[in-house]
Amino acid sequence: MALEEGLKQRLIGAAVLVALVVIFVPMLIDEPQDSKLVSDHRIPEKPPALVKPMPEILPPKPETAETPVQVPEAPPTPKPDVVEKKAPSKKAGKKPPTSWMIQVASLTVQKNAEKLVADLRKAEMPAHLEKVAVDGKKHFRIRVGPEVDFKTAERMAKKIKRDFKLTPKVMRYPE
């Protein structure tokens, strides 16, 4: 019996040694882990933010003496801050999709216009500035939008009126 007990101990010892060899020898033979973590793939740099160029609005062409000046009829305006109150029709194939733009103000001092745009953006409004010529003078239109949903544009106009004490106008885009 003592002989069998010694044999058992030797077999267990041999099994432990084999297990240790199986675990540690590959670690000694393989290359270090640090070099395995390095990838050959390169991540491309983040592309620059897309900035849409502001459209340059040209002044209207001067009327000739032969062309009579037509005065457009004033549309009925139930509210002074909304040019048109109808929601866009959803008939397919009739007209291209309509979106809505909010004209907030038209200023002659660029610095004031830029400040208003910055303030509107702080209020999370998609505001932008357009340079236009009116009667030969430079003006800076501050607009918010375009917005696809008319009701959303109307809510934005009400917020501008309330928070900024201005009289914005909701209008079709493109005009």
Structural domains of the chain sorted by starting position, each given as residue range(s) with its CATH number in brackets: 99-173 (3.30.70.1070)
Question: Which among 129, 116, 105 is positioned nearest to 53, based on CA atoms?
Answer: 129
Does position 30 have pLDDT exceeding 60, yes or no? yes
Section 38-53 average pLDDT: 60
DSSP state of 61: P
Cross-strand pairs, 143 = 103, 128
The more confident residue out of 35 and 144 is: 144
Position 98 scores a pLDDT of: 80
Position 119 scores a pLDDT of: 93
Residues 6+ away with beta carbon under 8 Å from 29? none
Rounded distance between C-alpha atoms, residue 116 and residue 110, angstroms? 10
Give the pLDDT confidence of 62-106 residue by residue, as tens digits. Answer: 555 555 555 555 555 444 333 333 444 555 555 666 888 999 999
Position 77 scores a pLDDT of: 43
The answer to whether 167 and 81 have CB atoms below 8 angstroms apart is: yes
Give the pLDDT confidence of 95-150 residue by residue, as tens digits. Answer: 666 888 999 999 999 999 999 999 999 999 999 998 988 888 999 999 998 888 88
Give the pLDDT confidence of 145-158 residue by residue, as tens digits. Answer: 888 888 999 999 99
Position 56 scores a pLDDT of: 61
The DSSP-derived string for 106-157 is: EES-HHHHHHHHHHHHHTT--EEEEEEEETTEEEEEEEEEEES-HHHHHHHH
125: tokens are 């409004």
Cis peptide bond prior to 174, omega within 30° of 0: yes
Cross-strand pairs, 171 = 101
Q: CB atoms < 10 A from the CB of 167, how many?
A: 13
Does position 172 have pLDDT exceeding 70, yes or no? yes
Structural element, H or E, at residue 14: helix 2-29
The more confident residue out of 170 and 36 is: 170
Tokens 């062309």 belong to residue: 67
